[in-house]
Amino acid sequence: MIKLSPSLLAADFSNLKGDIGAAEKAGAQYLHLDVMDGIFVPNISFGVPVIKALRKCTDMVFDTHLMITDPIRYIDAFASCGSDIITFHYEACEDRNAVIDKIHSLGLRAGMSIKPGTAPEVLDGYFDKLDLILIMSVEPGFGGQKFMPSCLPKLEYCAKKIAALSHPCDLEVDGGINLSNVGEVISAGCDTVVAGSSVFGAPDISDAVRSFLQK
């Protein structure tokens, strides 16, 4: 069974507790938390105080996706507010090993993400150290965009590399995923699916979560 990581960005911000509760009760394992700084991406979302407050509402795994420049500056903050996994962008910093080591030093799982224009080969040399690889299937910054099939060969590439590792590593995809295209990303080797609009924007959040988990 896949792991589902509903993206909070598409939730009703006036009813976060209710929306999260519906996703959790229906079986979603992770909660995807999109943090944007207005520099790495042209949008600003939410940050530490919101995540800290939500930590009291749910036991879901907090899958924090940092779309921020120079992420090492904020690893302590996003660890202390309750993240379980912290994913940063390959394109957002120079010393990626330092960021991975920092996340691990705080006892959390470390993820690295690549944007649609970045080749998967840049991840060579990091697979051994990572607990999650996030392949973007849209340009980061906004929910509700159209899925880019160019992520599929990247997922296949990473799935092969991960199969050869001696430790567990999630292979996650993010952007434009819905019940019609999720089969394609699973066939390409993805085991962890981010879905915003197609979960929190669905007529019934619980039904949407259950339908994804049956895929």
Residues lying near ligand DX5 in the complex (CB under 6 A): 7, 9-10, 32, 34, 65, 138, 140-145, 174-177, 194-198
Q: Which among 155, 79, 138 has a CA at the least distance from the CA of 110? A: 79
With CB cut-offs between 5 and 8 Å by kind, which of Zn ion, ligand DX5, none does residue 9 bind? Answer: ligand DX5
User: Residue 27 region, left (φ>0) first, then alpha (ψ -120 to 50), else beta?
Assistant: left
The residue among 139 and 156 lying less far from ligand DX5, judged by its C-beta, is 139
Give the span between the Cα atoms of 144 and 138, in whole angstroms: 9
User: Out of 19, 37, 170, 174, which one is annotated catalytic?
Assistant: 174
The reply to whether 70 belongs to the active site is no
CB of 169 to ligand DX5, least distance (A): 19
- 76 is a catalytic site residue: no
- Specify the DSSP class assigned to residue 10: G
Shortest distance (Å) from residue 41 CB to ligand DX5: 6
Q: Which does 176 bind (CB under 5 to 8 A by kind): Zn ion, ligand DX5, none?
A: ligand DX5
Q: Judged by CB, which is closer to Zn ion: 99, or 124?
A: 99
The helix/strand/coil state of 168 is coil
CA 34 to CA 27: how far, in whole Å? Answer: 20
Phi and psi dihedrals of 133, rounded to 5? -115, 130
How far, in Å, CA of 88 to CA of 76, rounded? 13
Least separation in angstroms between CB 46 and ligand DX5: 12
Q: Which is nearer to Zn ion, 78 or 165 (CB)?
A: 78
- Asked if 188 contacts 155 with a C-beta cutoff of 8 angstroms, the reply is yes
Beta strands, E only, 53-157 = 61-67, 85-89, 109-114, 132-136
- Cα dihedral 178, 60, 106, 1, rounded to 10, equals -50
Residues that bind Zn ion (CB under 5 A): 34, 65, 174
Question: Least distance to ligand DX5 from the beta carbon of 147, Å?
Answer: 8
Q: Decide which of ligand DX5, Zn ion, none touches 145; Cβ closer than 5 to 8 Å per partner kind.
A: ligand DX5
Q: 175 touches which of ligand DX5, Zn ion, none (CB within 5 to 8 A by kind)? A: ligand DX5
Q: Which is nearer to Zn ion, 65 or 154 (CB)?
A: 65
Catalytic residue positions?
34, 174
